[in-house]
């Protein structure tokens, strides 16, 4: 399993992107990158297993006010196989390697589900209810600092 940077202006006809999920994903990022910009490492990544895209993960733009939001998505047929957990862990590593001072956040639907378990297993804590343009009322999660992890 590996992450590959989802480049701008990617060749949609590449065999790697032949699935409908991949085509949908590429369409989303055609609109998304112009909004958030393309600033490494604060970009989107493909989750790839054996040269097949099984999902994606990303930073929602560059850090702002010392925080950056993460997201991840596993294509339906690959759910429950650990790809989203892998993606979450990898985004944490990328962020820590880039800037130890950045606080990572994530939003989920306001219900306990696979995504909330992934966040809890990766030392995120529930931080409150916020508004999200796609979800509406959303649960906000914040990654514990290294000090908080050592204290728990």
What pLDDT sits at residue 35? Answer: 85
The predicted-structure confidence for 74-127, as pLDDT tens digits, reads as follows 999 999 999 999 999 999 999 999 999 999 999 999 999 999 999 999 999 999
What pLDDT sits at residue 128? Answer: 96
The predicted-structure confidence for 31-60, as pLDDT tens digits, reads as follows 888 888 899 999 999 999 999 999 999 999
Distance of alpha carbon 65 from alpha carbon 20, whole angstroms = 36
What pLDDT sits at residue 8? Answer: 87
Give CA separation, 26 vs 21, 87, 140, in Å: 9, 18, 26
Using pLDDT thresholds of 50, 70 and 90, give the confidence band for residue 71: very high
Return the H-helix or E-strand segment holding 83: helix 83-98
What pLDDT sits at residue 152? Answer: 45
Number of other CB atoms surrounding residue 71 within 10 Å: 18
Q: Tokens 């112009």 correspond to what residue?
A: 34
Q: What is the DSSP letter of 7?
A: -
Reply yes or no on whether the pLDDT at 149 is more than 80: no
Distance of alpha carbon 53 from alpha carbon 25, whole angstroms = 11
Identify the residue with better confidence: 152 or 55: 55
Reply yes or no on whether the pLDDT at 13 is more than 60: yes
At residue 63, φ and ψ (nearest 5 deg) are -55, 140
What pLDDT sits at residue 146? Answer: 55
What pLDDT sits at residue 150? Answer: 40
At residue 139, φ and ψ (nearest 5 deg) are -85, 130
Distance of alpha carbon 59 from alpha carbon 69, whole angstroms = 6
Residue 125 forms beta bridges with which residues?
142
Distance of alpha carbon 141 from alpha carbon 136, whole angstroms = 15
Write the CATH number of the domain with boundaries 2-151. 3.40.630.30
Q: Where are the domains of the chain?
A: 2-151
Using pLDDT thresholds of 50, 70 and 90, give the confidence band for residue 69: very high
Instruction: Report the predicted TM-score, pTM, of the whole model to 2 decimal places.
Output: 0.90
């Amino acid at each position: 399993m590996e992450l590959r940077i989802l480049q701008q202006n990617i060749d949609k006809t590449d065999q790697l992107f032949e699935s409908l999920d991949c085509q949908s994903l590429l369409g989303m990022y055609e609109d998304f990158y112009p909004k958030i910009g393309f600033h490494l490492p604060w970009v989107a990544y493909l989750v790839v297993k054996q040269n097949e895209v099984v999902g994606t993960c990303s930073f929602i733009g560059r850090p702002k006010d010392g925080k950056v939001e993460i997201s991840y998505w596993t294509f339906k047929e690959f759910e429950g196989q650990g790809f989203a957990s892998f993606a979450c862990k990898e985004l944490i590593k990328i962020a820590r390697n880039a800037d130890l001072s950045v606080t990572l956040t994530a939003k989920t639907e306001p219900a306990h589900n696979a995504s909330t378990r992934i966040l809890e297993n990766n030392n995120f804590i529930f931080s409150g209810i916020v508004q999200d343009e796609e979800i509406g009322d959303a649960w906000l999660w914040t990654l514990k600092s290294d000090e908080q992890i050592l204290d728990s």
